[in-house]
Structure 1
Amino acid sequence: MNWRLEDRLEAAEARDAPLDFCQWPYERPVAPAPDALRTSALLYKSFALAGVSGRMLEFCDALVARLGRFRTVWGIKWADGRLSWEFYFYDYARMERRFGMGDFIDLARPFFPVTAPALDGVPHFMFSVELDAALIAGQGALDRIDMYMGNPGSAVSSGICYGVSRQGCEMRNFYFFFDARSQMQEVREKLVSNAHLPMRQLELDRLLWPRMKDAQIVVVANKRWNDGLYFSRIGIDPLVHFLERLRFPEGLTGFARESRDRLAHHLFDVGYDHAPGTGRDPVLLKGSIYGLL
């Protein structure tokens, strides 16, 4: 299946659901422009830049047909000079969920093999899968599904990520969500409680970028080999700044920049993984941006 980007750029509608990467609603910063686009425009642009086949589009269409519009969260990942993607499936009904891992495996079967087992007998509220161009091209199999559980007892909203594979269920990440307007002191305390960045080397302003100051939610992630920091509900200009700073492909950054007014009615979610550098600046290992399908 050959495809053209122009055919996949979907016009935004006034009734489109404004939801962030947790599927939580937000108020739009401005009304949609007459030629406004849905956030999926960025996803399809990344597909075009990576040269993926129409099979990836057929997979996305199958998700929308099964789940409905705006029920799948996508993430564009940029690390080591390579684009990849992650798709997230939320259902806060947990054990009463309507779409579980087993359902996903059935849906994915025509597109790529999945060797990871379905673990639907536990009360996860979300699971996700990571794809790249090779998998869509028929090389390899999806061998892990990430599963997200609640964390009762935490003083803030938080979640625990486990990787589900044939080898078992492996703990991978902890996520902690903070209100950026009222809990920035807690964000700073959480960042300082860090096993990966030496205390005397840690300068918080080099992690909490000034251009992200209007984020409504900040998420601190404790991971196995490094930590992560996410800024939720930012405008189009901070999104472009993020793409520039993480050195995403200029084709994607330029598209976001040129489409500024057509995307300005959205709030975006972004995040990066970081590790110690040789100086004061952390090394930015991976960047991610998110939207809805």
Structure 2
Amino acid sequence: MRQPVVEYTAADDKYFNYCWWPYNPIGSTEGKLRPSSLLFHAFHLAQIDQRAYELVERIRSNIGMFRTVWGTKQVAGEMQWEFYFYDYQRRDRDVSITCVLDLIRPLISCDLAPDERIPYFMFSMDIDEQLLTGRRNLDDIQIYIGNPGSSVSSGIAYEQRGDQLSLKNLYCFFDAKRQLRQVAEKIQCSAHLGSESVAIDQILYPQLRTCHTICVANKKDCDTIYFSGVDVSQLSFFLEKFDYPEATREWVTQHCSQLDHLLFDVGFDYHADQQGLHVVKSGYYGVF
């Protein structure tokens, strides 16, 4: 097996969280690793098709460096990925669904026809081995729009499958320092938290609360909590807590001093019943 791809920082690198909000590095950036290195390490461990790397390069060469958010997801022990594309200009956007689908079609089969009249600020697509090798088409994407009038920062996700749109998720964002009480209230006001025996600390982890922003999402079959702006030691805690591959945990530990300038984003999907809390998916995020 070849060695995983690593990318080193440059003086003009830019830094963004999973909402594509910019942040300042929290340490020296000289001789450090870009967050893309963590993505490429996950590709390497999964022995994913070479077209995954080609897809990343094709996207970067067309829309620019650091314009794409990636998520590495673990579902039932299997690794999956999601790529997110932001343009907060909405209808005046430069990075549109049409633009991205056109540029990736040489690698990925997709017949979707997006409606560019929708005032979305972001869209995403799921990436896996079947898609990259042509065993399935890209037949659905997620489209995200704002939620004016909400008392907290929030957004709504729709799924486009074929020419049909369906409501998928509702996201609410909270300042981790000032709004922890509201976060806890939002978590507890849930149709999926069907057990009074689940302690809030099983979801709102004390080890991750010192992040910048916490998001709680309501989904069809579960809820999700995201912690945005965690450092590498908190990322290590997350990877250990959610039983990521030992090779992933070891790689982060070994490269801790080359990742300590970065802030990461992590999250997990969950629901509860009388048997307790069940985590159905988890993920960590960066940009390329």
TM-score normalised over the length of structure 1: 0.95
Alignment of 1:28-177 (within 5 A): 28-32=25-29, 34-166=30-162, 168-177=164-173
* C-alpha distance in structure 1 between counterparts of 2:181 and 2:203, whole Å: 14
Residue in structure 2 matched with residue 288 of structure 1 by the alignment: 283
* C-alpha distance in structure 1 between counterparts of 2:110 and 2:248, whole Å: 29
From 22, 25, 29, the equivalent of 1:25 is 22
Alignment of 1:189-228 (within 5 A): 189-198=185-194, 200-228=196-224
From 253, 267, 271, the equivalent of 1:271 is 267
SS of corresponding position for 1:287: strand
Query: Gaps spanning 5+ residues in structure 1: where?
Result: none
Inter-CA distance 91–5: structure 2 relative to 1 (3 Å threshold): farther
* C-alpha distance in structure 2 between counterparts of 1:44 and 1:101, whole Å: 24
Query: Gaps spanning 5+ residues in structure 2: where?
Result: none
Q: Is residue 236 of structure 1 aligned with residue 232 of structure 2? A: yes
Q: Is the 8 A contact 1:115 1:165 kept in 2?
A: no
Deviation (angstroms), 1:68: 0.6
The number of equivalent residue pairs is 288
SS of corresponding position for 1:59: helix
* C-alpha distance in structure 1 between counterparts of 2:252 and 2:115, whole Å: 37
* C-alpha distance in structure 1 between counterparts of 2:226 and 2:218, whole Å: 12
Q: Is the 8 A contact 1:146 1:161 kept in 2?
A: yes
SS of corresponding position for 2:215: strand
SS of corresponding position for 2:156: strand
What per-residue deviation string (whole Å, max 9, x for no partner) do you get for residues 108-153 of structure 1?
2111111333121110000000010121122111110100000000
Off by >3 Å, runs of 4+ in structure 1: 3-6, 277-280
* C-alpha distance in structure 1 between counterparts of 2:130 and 2:38, whole Å: 20
Q: Is residue 9 of structure 1 aligned with residue 21 of structure 2? A: no
* C-alpha distance in structure 2 between counterparts of 1:13 and 1:53, whole Å: 28
Q: Is the 8 A contact 2:214 2:226 kept in 1?
A: yes
